[in-house]
A and B are shown apart, each in its own frame.
Chain A
Amino acid sequence: MTPQEQAQKIEEIYNEAIKKLTELEKERKGIIGGYIKELEAQKIDVIRASILENK
């Protein structure tokens, strides 16, 4: 493998890794976002329950 081919191959590996990491990043953020939504929903449920109780 020539140095040029080596460099090209390294670039390909890098691009592929960054692509995978970007997807995992979105996924991770989505998981945390989902958890926050769950928490929000729980809070809303608590508030709703509280309102209903006060009625």
Chain B
Amino acid sequence: MDSEKELLKQDLNKQESPEDVKQFIEDAKLLGHEDIAELGQQKLQEILSKAENIEKTSESQKSQVENMDGSNDEVEKRTQDIDKKIEEVKEESIKEIEAVQNEKKEINRDLLKTGSVFNFKTSNGDIIEVKLISEVQKTNEPTPREYVRVKATQGTLETDVVINDLIEKKKEESFKETENPTPNSPEVSEEQKQQAEKIKQLNAEMTELLNEITSTMPSRLNQVINSESYRKLISLNEKRNNEEKELFNIYNRYTQGHDSYRRSFSTHGLDNSDYQYIEDMKTAGASSEILKRFEEFKEKFRKPEKIADDIYREDYSKIINEDRWKFERTVADKSKEVFGEDSAGRDEFQKKYFDAYRNNFSKAYNDTIPNENLFPNTMGTIYS
């Protein structure tokens, strides 16, 4: 099994190039040594940089040597021993810092309880999250080692791990990743426990409110589809669609072979281009009766449909949306109170409930009125 020590050693040995330094930091971060890794890297970089500057003979010195008819090869020869010592200081510093970073971070024994969550580096190098499923036990070896039984929080892996191979998770990470941190969980502070308790209460409150609204969704959906405004809108919508189809067929029939002026006729095309279509029809030799159908279309169908749509949307808002908006406002206000400055936590909380509302509504819709179209294609369309 790879240990933290081996990993850090490997990376530190290579860290003279920027890529290796970067890799070293990334790996160290994974192991929960972010601060130490950064400090070590920063200090080593400063040492290496200073050493590099010292080993270089300055341009002014080179120039002085040349002006005096001296040789820079002679300078190199004379500074050889010092340069060797500089190299030694570099290597020594790398080794010493490596040794400090490889010091095993003492694990907080208070956390070694069943249910606590740690990271663990597997033999193939993956970092996985594991949960302790046993108390600390000792091996039967002459020099007993302490180990615990762990289970991966995701997947099926279950194994014994020597306690020093467990990697403590950072507190904020544990807190964020745990949706409802247990107030008694050992890895959270007192303040976090209180916050966790508040979130727990808010979750309970919002869940109750969501359940209450969800339970009335089927009846409210039925109320919508049985409303007079919905029925009228659907009826007008169907008639208008049929008329549009007929007009399209007529337009198509008359204008075939006249591609030079023919427009791409569509039901949406009738919106602002009626006049153009009528002109096309005239050019194509349509009768006055046919032209009248085009001219009257707007007044006959689309304006009444727009009015019906407005009335329906008002009813829909009252029956469906008002509760939804009330729910979303409550979630937003309450989560603001509880999460305060933690905007990420607040957003996540709100999203959870907003998504839950949408999912519940979709389910209620599919269960209650699967064949009804609550949003006929007039919805949101502006007819003048």
Question: Does A50 interact with chain B (Cβ within 8 Å)?
Answer: no
- Docked Cα-Cα span, A43 to B70, in Å, equals 10
Stretch of B91-99, B197-205, B214-222, B265-273 contacting A (4+ beta carbons < 8 Å): B91-99
Per-position binary interface string of chain A over residues 11-48, scored 1 when its CB falls under 8 Å from any chain B CB and 0 otherwise: 10110011011001101110110011001101100000
Instruction: Name the contact of A27 in the complex, choosing from B36, B61, B65, B82 (C-beta under 8 A).
Output: B82
Question: Does A7 interact with chain B (Cβ within 8 Å)?
Answer: yes
A13 neighbours in B (Cβ, 8 Å): 43, 93, 96-97, 100
A-B CB contact pairs (8 Å), 25 listed: A1-B104, A6-B36, A7-B39, A9-B100, A10-B39, A10-B100, A10-B101, A11-B39, A14-B43, A14-B93, A14-B97, A17-B89, A18-B46, A18-B50, A21-B50, A24-B82, A28-B54, A31-B79, A31-B82, A32-B57, A32-B79, A35-B65, A36-B70, A39-B69, A40-B68
| B100 close to A35 (CB less than 8 A) | no
A43 neighbours in B (Cβ, 8 Å): 68-69
A contact residues vs B (CB 8 Å cutoff): 1-3, 6-7, 9-11, 13-14, 17-18, 20-21, 24-25, 27-29, 31-32, 35-36, 39-40, 42-43
Within the complex, the shortest CB–CB distance from A45 to chain B, in Å, comes to 12
- Docked Cα-Cα span, A25 to B57, in Å, equals 10
Contact (A28, B82) CB under 8 Å given A13-B97, A39-B69: yes
| B47 close to A21 (CB less than 8 A) | yes
A28 neighbours in B (Cβ, 8 Å): 54, 79, 82-83, 86
Question: Does B351 interact with chain A (Cβ within 8 Å)?
Answer: no
| A1 close to B106 (CB less than 8 A) | yes
Within the complex, the shortest CB–CB distance from A19 to chain B, in Å, comes to 10
Instruction: Name the contact of B43 in the complex, choosing from A3, A10, A39 (C-beta under 8 A).
Output: A10
Chain B contact residue count (CB 8 A cutoff): 38
| A24 close to B89 (CB less than 8 A) | yes
Question: Does B85 interact with chain A (Cβ within 8 Å)?
Answer: yes
- Docked Cα-Cα span, A31 to B76, in Å, equals 10
- Docked Cα-Cα span, A30 to B92, in Å, equals 24
- Docked Cα-Cα span, A14 to B43, in Å, equals 6
- Docked Cα-Cα span, A9 to B100, in Å, equals 7
| A11 close to B43 (CB less than 8 A) | yes
Closest partner residue, chain B, to A14 (CB atom): B43
- Docked Cα-Cα span, A21 to B103, in Å, equals 26
B82 neighbours in A (Cβ, 8 Å): 24, 27-28, 31
| A3 close to B36 (CB less than 8 A) | yes
| A7 close to B36 (CB less than 8 A) | yes
Question: Does B75 interact with chain A (Cβ within 8 Å)?
Answer: yes
Within the complex, the shortest CB–CB distance from A38 to chain B, in Å, comes to 8
| Contacts beyond the supplied A2-B105, A21-B51, A35-B74: 16 A-B pairs with Cβ under 8 Å | A1-B100, A1-B103, A2-B106, A6-B105, A10-B101, A14-B93, A14-B97, A17-B47, A17-B93, A18-B47, A21-B50, A29-B61, A35-B75, A35-B78, A36-B65, A43-B69
